[in-house]
Structures are given as structure tokens and as C-alpha cells.
Amino acid sequence: MVNKQKRVAAIHDISGFGRCSLTVALPIISASGVETVVMPTAVLSTHTGGISGFTYHDLTDDMRPITKHWKSLDLHFDAIYTGFLGSFEQLDIVVEFFDTFKKEDNLIVVDPVMADNGELYKIFTPEFAAGMRKICEKADIIIPNLTEASLLIGEDYNPGPYTEEYIEGMLKKLAALGPDRIVLTGVFFDDTYLGAASYDNSTDEISYAFSKRIPGYYHGTGDVFGSALVSALMNGFDLHQSTEIAVRFTTESIQRTADAKTDIRFGVNFEQSIPDFLKDLKLA
């Protein structure tokens, strides 16, 4: 018997160069055997991290007509996966999209892309963080980093190292916003290991997935992690297993990039990590 192919709607921007957002989500999720339907929120010539002079084209006006057309086709999505949103209006549009396509048998996965290293991205305001909270309230799973988590729950950013008590408190405060499951990235208890913590509110289970820390800051790794997590979930792995798979895939991609001494602004070499990723997913 052939299993029905899963389908994910990915709502992110497209940065033509720099390996992030849809240029990461589309190949990774597709490689995992999942049909990937894309709604671009903006088109940029490059990502914005450390690269100047980039072009930016806002696609807010296209998003509602796309939603209407997909609704007319009676499309069903096994997951809806959101990332970078470029305006307050897009926050409202995504909520409408959730209301249109949410079913009892699908997942809403939100990566609340807006901040890192203790600071909001320059294009966002504190008011945008409050707007992102209402999207997270409708999610089944959210994937914030520690900076985004602090903004979502209205607390000052803690640069770490962290304690288990602190991380577990953060996870439970995030779950109180509405999502049943949380994956918190950028977790570390010492300078040797870095990873993620996952929490299932329905079972009160907390688990961790770590790998050896690789020095440096690499752009696009959050999108690599989130796309791998969604891929694993769509292939039947539970939250803890999916988090472990995503950590391994992201770490391997960073290590390959570090070994090659590639300009860190160019994103990480996830492409050559895909064969091992598919083995992890038991697809190869």
C-alpha cells in the first residue's frame, strides 16, 4: 500500500542569495518526500544579515489572493510552516490563512522570526513582537530562539549560560501562550554544547538535544533547523526525535561550512548534508 504524500504550506520570504527562508525550506522539506507549497512574503536579492545594498519587494498584496485561490482549489495541508513576515498586515493575513486551512488533522508550525542575540532585527519594532504573539497563540508548535522567546513572554533577554530550571520555566511560559508544543533553540548550559529544548504540554515532557558548539555565527541556521524539524514531524517522528534530527542536520551543515572556511554571510552548506539527513529519516 502506497502512503499518501504529505503536503506542507511554507510561508516565508525568498532571499535569492544567502541560503535562508524559502531557498532552504523548499529543498529540505521536498527532499524528505513532502510536497512543499510556497507562499512568498517578500522577494529579496540577498538576506539582510551583514550584506548591504539588497533589494526588497514586498508581496503583502499578493497573499490574500493566493489564499483565496488555494481555498477555491480545496487544498489540504498536513502542516502550515511560517517564518519571516515583513509587515503588520502580513501578521493578520497569516492568522486568516490559519483560520482558512486549519483542520483537526494538521499542524501549524510557527517560527517567530524577528530577533536574535538579544536584539530585534532592525526592520521590526516592539509592537511587531506583540503582533507575533497572536500568531503563536494559534500555533500547535512554535520554534523560537531565546531572544524571540523573551520577547514573546515579555521578559528581559538572558544571554546565558542557562540552567535547566530557567529553560523549563521559559518553555512553560511559552506554552501558556497557546501552542501545545515548544522547541526552543540556542539552549546551552556550558560553553561546550549547544542545542534545543522541546516541551510537550499535553504530557509535561521536556527533553534536550545537544551537539558540540561550533564557534562563529552562521546565517540561515534557524531556517535549516525549522525545515528539518517539519520534515521529521511529517515523516512520523515524535517531537523529541524530530528535534534531535534537526540538531544533527543543522550541526553537520555548519561544520561543513566551517571546515570549508566559507564566508559566513553566504549561509551554511546544507545541500551536502541531505544524504545523511535522509538516512536519519529512514528514507535512504
Q: In this structure, what C-alpha cell is assigned to residue 262? A: 566559507
| β-strand pairing of 193-200 with 205-212 | antiparallel
What are the pLDDT tens digits along the chain (284 aa)?
A: 567 999 999 999 999 999 999 999 999 999 999 999 999 999 999 998 888 899 999 999 999 999 999 999 999 999 999 999 989 999 999 999 999 999 999 999 999 999 999 999 888 888 999 999 999 999 999 999 999 999 999 999 999 999 999 999 999 999 999 999 999 999 999 999 999 999 999 999 999 999 999 998 899 999 999 999 999 999 999 999 999 999 999 999 999 999 999 998 899 999 999 999 999 999 98
Q: Where do runs of H (alpha helix) occur along 111-238? A: 126-137, 146-153, 164-175, 221-234
Amino acid at 74: D
- CA-atom Rg of the chain in angstroms: 18
DSSP three-state, residue 222 = helix
Q: What is the reported pLDDT for 122?
A: 82
What are the CA-CA distances from residue 283 to residues 33, 113, 235 (Å)? 8, 30, 9
What are the CA-CA distances from residue 133 to residues 42, 94, 149, 270 (Å)? 21, 12, 10, 30
pTM of the model: 0.97
